[in-house]
Amino acid sequence: MSITETFLAGFHRDHAGLTAQVFDALPWQDSGGRPWPSSYDWLVDACRDTALPPGPGLDLACGDGLLLARLRADAAPTARPWMGVDLSPDELRAARQRLGAHVPLLRARAQALPLGDAHLAAVVSHLALMLMDDADAVVTELARVLQPGGLLAGVVGARAEPSPAFAVYLELLSQQPRSAHWQALRFGDRRWHDEAGLQSLLAPPFEALTCTRLMREERMSPESLWQWCLGMYDLHLLPPEALPGLRAEFLRRCQPLTDAEGTVLHRQVLLAFQARRR
């Protein structure tokens, strides 16, 4: 495993299931104004396409199995058997607990899937593709395991303007001294984060790319925003003793940004896409 994958495995050992806890019941609105109860539900809906070939589906980087549970519970006529892959044994253990004994769960890297050629009719992935090393190898592997006409559907972080309070957080983070370990880390590939990048990444093995942005805005206390940031990877790259001072500075710098209720704006944007294997 690379340095980045070793960091991810360590984070998910200590925080298995955290992504699902944060995103499980978080509602979004897509670019067309359609509300979604969660970003996982957008992926479940993408799999209901009756034009898809029959055959098994894969949740790539399945984490603790929340999306697999939703996919398996979906009663649409297009229901199919689902399996999960993740590199973290701790997330897979949590997924096993959630899903029971009968769902295939494989410990593997997306760059080397232990599946035969054209084995799958659908691959979904929630908040993971944009973290992975060697995006081109991931796409090649996905193209290998999908049948012609098969679905690739993903939710990834989108390139978006940060809210003023989040810009404060990003600025403070950028000023932190970077350990050699942190400098060596590279999270994924920027091409996942917008439609033009996706087009260049996925073509030629994939076609019929469609994208929508999932957006949400809420007001929260600066302390709640700090807690939200603690659920992401970046703060875990800092020495723990740096966190109290950084938190205090963040809260101080957010003060002028608060409204009469003491809240700041928090804006989140995800990119949801689907494409078909040629």
> Nearer Cβ to ligand SAM, position 113 or 246?
113
Of residues 8-47, those binding ligand SAM (CB under 6 A): 8, 12, 19-20
- 168 binding ligand SAM? (CB under 6 A): no
> Nearer Cβ to ligand SAM, position 58 or 168?
58
- 91 binding ligand SAM? (CB under 6 A): yes
Q: Kindly state the smallest distance separating residue 128's Cβ from ligand SAM, in Å.
A: 4
Q: Kindly state the smallest distance separating residue 134's Cβ from ligand SAM, in Å.
A: 9
Q: Near ligand SAM by CB under 6 A, which window of 62-70, 96-104, 173-181, 253-261?
A: 62-70
> Nearer Cβ to ligand SAM, position 140 or 255?
140
Residue showing the smallest CB distance to ligand SAM in the complex: 63
Of 260, 250, 231, the closest CA to residue 18 belongs to: 231
> Nearer Cβ to ligand SAM, position 42 or 169?
42
Q: By rule CB under 6 A, what string of x and - marks binding of each residue 111-140 to ligand SAM?
A: x--------------xxx--xx--------
- 61 binding ligand SAM? (CB under 6 A): yes
- Sequence-distant (6+) residues with CB within 8 A of 93 are 16
Of residues 67-86, those binding ligand SAM (CB under 6 A): 85-86
> Nearer Cβ to ligand SAM, position 105 or 275?
105
Residues that bind ligand SAM (CB under 6 A): 8, 12, 19-20, 61-63, 66, 85-88, 91, 109-111, 126-128, 131-132
